[in-house]
A and B are shown apart, each in its own frame.
Chain A
Amino acid sequence: MTDIGAPEPLTPAVFHILLALANDEKHGYEIMKAVRQDSGGAVKMGNGTLYGSLKRMLADGLIADAGERAGSDDTRRKYYRLTDAGREAMYAEIRRYRDTLESVRRYALLPGGPPAEKATP
């Protein structure tokens, strides 16, 4: 059944950007690297996809501009941070994953898991 009040599921790119910003502020390339690492290389994000997503997320209030800072190479870069709405959207998505995972477990469908017993609907 669809939960009318639940927020829309996030795209993999948006979810992974939120995840990348969960613990600290990051600039564009740091986000790109974190997404690739967190997804085990499954979500490979180019510059266009990254900044297109950042633009939408800024407009939706999921992330905010955290100002400019100079790195070790003395180049100034813009940093982004998670907003409260962004954190809430990230947790909602994690809850969705958790619920899905629980269903998968209930049906004993995890790869490498025990052979399927009786599925309890």
Chain B
Amino acid sequence: MKNALQFYRLLLTLYPRAFRAAFGAQMLQTFLDQYADVEASEGAVGLAFWLFLLADEARSIAEQHRRASAARLALAAALFLPLFAVFYAALVRVSLALPHPPVSGAGFLLALAGLLLLPGILGAVVSYTLAGVVTAGLAVARGTGGIGRA
């Protein structure tokens, strides 16, 4: 039982963090209940139990990662434009305030590209990070938690 529990604990670490935080402890308890039940009724836990468990967990882990990524990307996309606008405005303001030589031609285009690229990268990183924090927080709030002795 102890080894099985350790193995299942390890398996749970493959789920997205938010899902694990919301349901990990409950899943562990349900696994223990199921394991004890099979052991009591059949004398030992056989290969069929593990094969079914592994197939189900593999499917579920992939599905939860797909859902977590989709939700996070959707939120990040929604956050990107406002953040880009804020960073762009700040960068233009700072650039104009700093002393700079007059630019023209290729230099002007390069400066313009830099002005668009930098807030773009910054906006993408910040929006994706923020979306991760928000989706993880929401998932934990919805699942509300842990349980059991295990």
Question: Residues of A at under 8 Å CB distance from B?
Answer: 27-29, 32, 44-52, 54-55, 58-59, 65, 68, 74-78
Contact = CB atoms under 8 A, between A and B. Distances in A.
Contacts of B55: 46
Given A28-B26, A52-B60, A75-B148, A47 B142 contact: no
A20 B128 CA distance: 39
Interface of B: 19, 22-23, 26-27, 29-31, 33-34, 37, 52-53, 55-57, 59-61, 63-64, 139, 142-145, 147-150
Given A48-B59, A52-B60, A32 B34 contact: yes
Nearest to B54: A46
A51 B148 contact: no
Contacts of A75: 29, 148-150
A77 B29 contact: yes
B147 A54 contact: no
B148 A55 contact: no
Contact of B30 (A29, A52, A58, A76): A29
Given A47-B60, A68-B147, 10 more contacts: A29-B34, A29-B37, A47-B56, A48-B27, A48-B56, A48-B60, A49-B56, A49-B60, A55-B23, A76-B149
A55 B27 CA distance: 12
Nearest to B53: A46
Given A52-B60, A55-B19, A55-B22, A47 B27 contact: yes
A108 to B, nearest CB: 38
Contacts of B22: 55
Contacts of A32: 30, 34
Contacts of B34: 29, 32, 47
B145 A78 contact: yes
Contacts of B149: 74-76
A27 B55 CA distance: 23
A59 B67 CA distance: 13
A47 B53 contact: yes
Minimum-distance CB pairs A-B, first 6: A48-B60, A46-B56, A29-B33, A28-B30, A51-B23, A48-B57
Contacts of A49: 56, 59-60
A69 B4 CA distance: 25
Nearest to A74: B149
B134 to A, nearest CB: 15
A110 B19 CA distance: 43
Nearest to B57: A48
